[in-house]
A and B are shown apart, each in its own frame.
Chain A
């Protein structure tokens, strides 16, 4: 057992967990934040993407112990009270989800890519969005509305 402390969605948390605990298990089973999903056991689907120290990573392929001390944001940490984050709002407006299983990971990857592209000044084109979504699998939508949602959010966030 190891005592793991992190800041998750702006709250300091701390739990004793076995050393082999994955970050996604820590988030879902210890913190009971079940918005972060597990869609595969091969590190390929991206349903588990969260931000660790500002970077999108797969929480199913990260040990909780190895990010002890980090700042973590999960999909539950994006909205401001009842006001959705612009990326969440754009997924709602553009029908960017059907069953919704992949959506938390899609949204966390989308916020990360928009932030990176806006910081570098590079244009987040449709082709770039599709390349960036390489590690996020959706079984329902066929991706078109996900891409549209991200384009919409990026445009609104650029003007914000």
Chain B
């Protein structure tokens, strides 16, 4: 790992200010993506601004039909929260299947969505549940936040501080994990929301997380796995790599979507 200068931020404002003063700063949350990347010398920030001790970015609250999760909340806390388990069980279950227990103890919601790995789980939850991403400067709909492979709408220095999830009437997430990495080969969040049926797919698309409109239309008229029998997924839009071809992933998306609907 290259040299770097570590700063522990006390507040969101302090973090933004420290990062702005540095040459080439990176925010550090759980470090479960950034540190492996730095160890491989694929990233070499001059400064690390640690967000993990910022109290205002921690914790989970439920008010009315909205679950708000601080961006610094580790996956294990989301998985173990009785509030999340009661309000959006699909979200608690999704968080409980990210990586392994040690990754879940440190990795955070904010770090995961800021990174926007095309095989990460949380982007499917945010897009599928129509979440609002709250940053230190603005609020964005999930649909406007995720912009392709590892790309988001975040500006230089912008910090994700929380995510607001509207409570769906029902939802479920089904994931086919890569047996080695545990990241999704295909992960599908299906939800009946105030905004209609939403289907968000991660792990499979060649442009990152996406909404599956044909599935949404089919489930909108008939909420059942059978309704998906004739809905196809275009292999031209899928990732193809050593773990699976585009055709394989296109098929997997259909299988995961059916499993999700059956368990919702």
Q: Which residue of A lies closest to B100 (CB)?
A: A135
Q: Is B103 among interface residues, defined by CB-CB distance under 8 A?
A: yes
User: Which chain A residues (98-116) contact chain B, with CB distance < 8 Å?
Assistant: 109, 112-113
B4 touches A134 (CB 8 A): no
Check if B8 sits within 8 Å of A135, measured CB to CB: no
Question: When A19-B48, A61-B36, A66-B52 are in contact, do A134 and B101 touch as well, CB less than 8 Å?
Answer: yes
**B48 and A61 within 8 A (CB):** no
Cα distance A128–B207 in the bound complex, in angstroms: 35
- Contact present for A134 and B182 (CB under 8 Å): yes
Chain B interface, >50% SS class: mixed
A49 — which chain B residues lie within 8 A by C-beta?
Answer: 102
Q: A62 within 8 Å of B by Cβ?
A: yes
Q: Which residues of A contact B5 (CB under 8 A)?
A: 19
Any B CB within 8 A of the CB of A2: yes
**Cβ-closest chain B residue relative to A136:** B100
Kindly state whether residue B240 has any CB partner on chain A within 8 Å.
no
Is there a chain B Cβ closer than 8 Å to A46's Cβ? yes
Given A43-B36, A63-B31, A63-B48, the answer on whether A19 and B102 have CB atoms closer than 8 Å is: no
Which residues of A in the span 56-72 have a Cβ within 8 Å of any Cβ on B?
Answer: 56-58, 60-63, 65-66, 68
Q: Does B259 contact A (CB under 8 A)?
A: no
Q: Is the CB of A112 within 8 A of B101?
A: yes
Q: With contacts A20-B1, A20-B2, A41-B40 known, is A63 near B100, CB below 8 A?
A: no
Name which residue of chain B comes closest to A68, CB basis.
B8
Q: How far is the CA of A46 from the CA of B28 in the complex (A)?
A: 21
Contact A63 B28 (CB under 8 A): yes
Contacts of A44 in B (CB 8 A): 180-181
Give the residue name and chain of the B residue nearest to A4 (CB): B6
- For A136, what are the chain B residues with a Cβ–Cβ distance below 8 Å? 100
Give the residue of B6, B36, B101, B182 whose beta carbon is less than 8 angstroms from that of A65.
B6
A55 adjacent to chain B (CB < 8 Å): yes
Q: How far is the CA of A134 from the CA of B100 in the complex (A)?
A: 5
If A19-B6, A20-B3, A66-B31 touch, whether A46 touches B52 (CB-CB below 8 Å) is: no
- The answer to whether B31 and A56 touch across the interface, beta carbons within 8 angstroms, is no
Q: Which of A18, A42, A56, A57 contacts B36 (CB 8 A)?
A: A42
Q: Which residues of B contact A (CB under 8 A)?
A: 1-6, 8, 28, 31-32, 35-36, 38-40, 48, 50, 52, 76, 99-103, 105-106, 180-182
The 10 tightest CB contacts between A and B, nearest first, are A135-B100, A134-B100, A19-B6, A65-B6, A55-B105, A58-B102, A20-B1, A43-B36, A61-B35, A57-B102
